[in-house]
Amino acid sequence: MKTKKSPIGVFDSGMGGLTVLNALRKELSGEDFIYFGDTAHLPYGSKSADAVRKYALRAAKFFKKKKVKLMVVACNTASVYALDTLKKTMPFEVLGVILPGVRAALHKETKKNSIGVIGTYGTVKSGIYRRLILEMEPQSRVKARACPLFVPLVEEGWTDHEITKQVARLYLEDFASGLDSLILGCTHYPLLKGVIKNVAGPSVNIIDSAREVAMEASKLLNEAGTASGKKNGSVKFYVSDAPELFKESASIFLEESFKVQQVGLLETD
């Protein structure tokens, strides 16, 4: 049974979802969180739709055992391929990261109705951002580009490295020309926001979905009457593989000490 004391589950293939977790903790400081990173199977961006759905369902079953009241799918690729399945099969609310980002982009003041999307191969290939944007605003012009090197650069800690800046120029210098807004369609990309903004230019609105996701989560909990009444919440971290490596790399995202527990793959089934 979902109660005010029930935790919120946050799921990603690895650690990119920590940008979403940070936004959630700022917006919902009294909530308890459980973060699960499926590090045994990352990256999701190059996986098939069936594989991603299978992994996401395993994570959801783990959260079900933990009696969460809300699952935030803090991964664009999993939001593309697994969100509908999770909503149909799980006893708790499930929130993805794509629709909040689309809404934010469409709410920004525009001059050319031109929106760009960058993400993993899987997210871009799905065409989901284009479809949702055009459903909500048919006059929009949408273009998308996969930027697969951004994820390993972030996880290497090279968020302001000259190599990263050069890669950003190669990906975005021509692509960002004429855009009103650029949606960061991968949860790793906010850590490169400064680099991306420098290439895209001051006239391009950079859309980071994390804040919008956090605000939507707050709205869902308040409407359901399950928002925590506490002042300070907690967070527990779980991964499916290599907890020490996750802890070392996650320090890029988190400015605090934390413990990480490994969950055996069979435990999530």
Domain residue ranges of the chain, discontinuous segments joined by +? 8-97+211-268, 99-209
Q: What pLDDT is recorded for position 255?
A: 81
Tens digits of residue pLDDT in 65-75 = 999 999 999 99
Full DSSP string of the chain: ---TT--EEEEESSSTTHHHHHHHHHH-TT--EEEEE-TTS---TTS-HHHHHHHHHHHHHHHHHTT-SEEEE--HHHHHHHHHHHHHH-SSEEE-SHHHHHHHHHHS--SS-EEEEEE-HHHHHHTHHHHHHHHH-TT-EEEEEE-TTHHHHHHTT-TT-HHHHHHHHHHHTTTTTT-SEEEEESTTGGGGHHHHHHHH-TTSEEE-HHHHHHHHHHHHHHHHT-----SS--EEEEESS-HHHHHHHHTTT-SS---EEE--GGGG-
Instruction: From the candidates 18, 70, 74, 75, give the one annotated as an active-site residue.
Output: 75
What's the pLDDT at 265?
A: 60
8-97+211-268: CATH number: 3.40.50.1860
Pick the CATH number of 99-209 from 3.40.50.1860, 3.40.50.300, 3.40.1280.10, 3.40.50.720: 3.40.50.1860
Please identify which of the residues 73, 186, 235, 250 carries the catalytic annotation.
186
pLDDT digits (tens, 9 = 90+) for 27-53: 999 999 999 999 999 888 889 999 999
Model pLDDT, residue 113: 87
75 is catalytic: yes
Show the low-confidence residues of the chain (pLDDT under 70).
1, 109-110, 265-269
Q: What confidence score (pLDDT) does residue 1 get?
A: 62
pLDDT per position as a tens digit, 115-139: 999 998 989 999 999 999 999 999 9
Residue 129 has what pLDDT?
Answer: 96
Instruction: Give yes or no: 147 in active site.
Output: no
pLDDT of residue 190: 93
Question: Whole-structure pTM over 0.85, yes or no?
Answer: yes
What integer pLDDT is reported at residue 110 of this predicted model? Answer: 67
**Residue 213: predicted pLDDT:** 95
User: Given this model, what pLDDT does residue 269 score?
Assistant: 52
Q: Could you tell me which of 115, 45, 36 has the C-alpha nearest to residue 77?
A: 45
